[in-house]
Amino acid sequence: MVKIAILGYGVVGSGVAEVLQMNQAQIAKRAGENIEVKYVMDLRDLSGDPAEKLLVKDFTIIENDPEVTIVVESIGGETIAYDFAKRALLSGKSVCTPNKALMAKYGAELLALAAEKGVALLFEASVGGGIPLIRPFNDALLTDEIETVSGILNGTSNYILTEMSENGTSYAQALKNAQELGYAEQDPTADVGGFDACRKLSILLSLATGKQVDYEEILTEGIDKISTEDFIFASELGFTLKQIVNGRICKNGVEAITAPFLVPLGHPMSTVNEAYNAAWVKCKAADNVMLYGSGAGKYPTASAVISNIVDAVGAKYTSFVWSAEKMPVLPSDAYVKSKVIRVSCDNPSELLKSVKAEKSITLEKYPNFAAWLTAPQTETETAAVIAEVKKLPGFKSVEQVLRVFSE
Ligand code: HSE
């Protein structure tokens, strides 16, 4: 019998307890032993919940109990979670966590500690929710040379964008739905602001390079300024709109960005909808690999955490190469992307005669908007184009500038 403790009994923590109960026989068969939750730690009293009888409020009880060999850290964040994860490892317990904030900030340090203590630190659910992603990435793809790592890695923002685009749902209503469905973080700022996806990108790039890629250095933009018109103009130009992470491994650093991107219709990433996630990885030999599945939510995330618990029980995991040495994020001017620029003006057809466009459109429904697709260009070049456009007769305002996805 393996005894575990669950820290944080929110959406994921309670999901882990439920799925352990629900799939007990199958899990025991895979692990070779029964797995029992001995403690649940939470700030609340959990009155009436079956976990009430397992509730402890003091981490030292768990830390000092030699019977507990695995700790599930599902508190979230990077403060208390870091303290407890570190203390669990120091006391010789394996840690399984879906916590991307913890791993993005302290991954290198905690992995080194786990190796020193001869225990596991496993974080399958930290990127891509229920998708088996970290394991194939670390085990299979890293035997190849990874060139680019892209993806849709935030279920909440992908759900919101899909709802806005497919069903005309307002941004506010779609966000409320995402919260009710258990996709969004308690404070959804990290979801809609791109910071959650950016941390996930930093984890994948740190694994891909074996060095620490600091998420704070990644250019990050959220979906909060996306409007209905953006979807309409995107579709007319042959794109869909997605919150994308985009990383390229270069000799002297990584290019890395998290932002709303236009994805060409027909690209496999354009079909990733609702709370589904996908990682799109380009390798030297394997070429393009897409890992796709449920990216958020109670049970998909719990399933990934439990797969880690089973791995920890059987010590069936490969080691991670992720040192504290920094891998620099290259200046944002390194991103060469086509852009779709949309401006408001008096006479769109007239204004479009003066811009350098690969493709341009005006729409009858929006008599004051002009939109065009530029050739691939740097951020500085785009800023220069916009500065010139602002001088054109009839120009009123820049409504939107969106990058076009390319590996
Ligand atoms: N809030 C996260 C998301 C949960 O929406 O993707 C999974 O990490």
3-class DSSP string for the chain: CEEEEEECCCHHHHHHHHHHHHCHHHHHHHHCCCEEEEEEECCCCCCCCHHHHHEECCHHHHHCCCCEEEEEECCCCCCHHHHHHHHHHHCCCEEECCCHHHHHHHHHHHHHHHHHHCCCEECHHHCCCCCCCHHHHHHCHHHCCEEEEEEECCHHHHHHHHHHHHHCCCHHHHHHHHHHCCCCCCCCHHHHCCHHHHHHHHHHHHHHHCCECCHHHCEECCCCCCCHHHHHHHHHCCEEEEEEEEEEEECCEEEEEEEEEEEECCCHHHHCCCCEEEEEEEECCCEEEEEEEECCCHHHHHHHHHHHHHHHHHCCCCCCCCCCCECCECCHHHCCECEEEEEEECCHHHHHCCCCCCEEEEECCEEEEEEEECCCECHHHHHHHHHHHCCCCCEEEEEEEEEECCC
pLDDT in the model for residue 316: 87
Which residue has a Cα nearest atom 1 of ligand 1? 184
Q: Residue 365 Cα, ligand 1 centroid: separation in angstroms? A: 36
pLDDT in the model for residue 216: 97
- Beta-ladder partners of 35: 2
Among 93, 200, 211, 242, the one annotated catalytic: 200
pLDDT in the model for residue 334: 84
C-alpha to C-alpha distance for 347 and 203, rounded to whole angstroms: 47
124 lines ligand 1 (CB under 6 A): no
- Tokens describing residue 151: 């993806």
Q: Which long-range contacts (CB under 8 A, 24 or more apart) does 312-318 make?
A: 312/69, 312/70, 312/94, 312/96, 312/119, 312/120, 312/122, 313/2, 313/31, 313/32, 313/33, 313/35, 313/70, 314/31, 314/32, 315/120, 317/120, 317/122, 317/135, 318/138, 318/139
- Tokens describing residue 2: 């393996």
Q: Residue 108 Cα, ligand 1 centroid: separation in angstroms? A: 22
pLDDT in the model for residue 186: 83
129 lines ligand 1 (CB under 6 A): yes
pLDDT tens per residue across all 407 residues of the chain: 999 999 999 999 999 999 999 999 999 999 999 999 999 999 999 999 999 999 999 999 999 999 999 999 999 999 999 999 999 999 999 999 999 999 999 999 999 999 999 999 999 999 999 999 999 999 989 999 999 999 999 999 999 999 999 999 999 999 999 999 999 988 899 999 999 999 999 999 999 999 999 999 999 999 999 999 999 999 999 999 999 999 999 999 999 999 999 999 999 999 999 999 999 999 999 999 999 999 999 999 999 999 999 999 998 888 999 999 999 999 998 899 999 999 999 999 999 999 999 999 999 999 999 999 999 999 999 999 999 999 999 999 999 999 999 98
155 lines ligand 1 (CB under 6 A): yes
Whether 200 is catalytic: yes
Q: Residue 42 Cα, ligand 1 centroid: separation in angstroms? A: 21
348 lines ligand 1 (CB under 6 A): no
- Mutation choice for ligand 1 from 100, 157, 185, 201, CB with most ligand atoms inside 8 A: 185
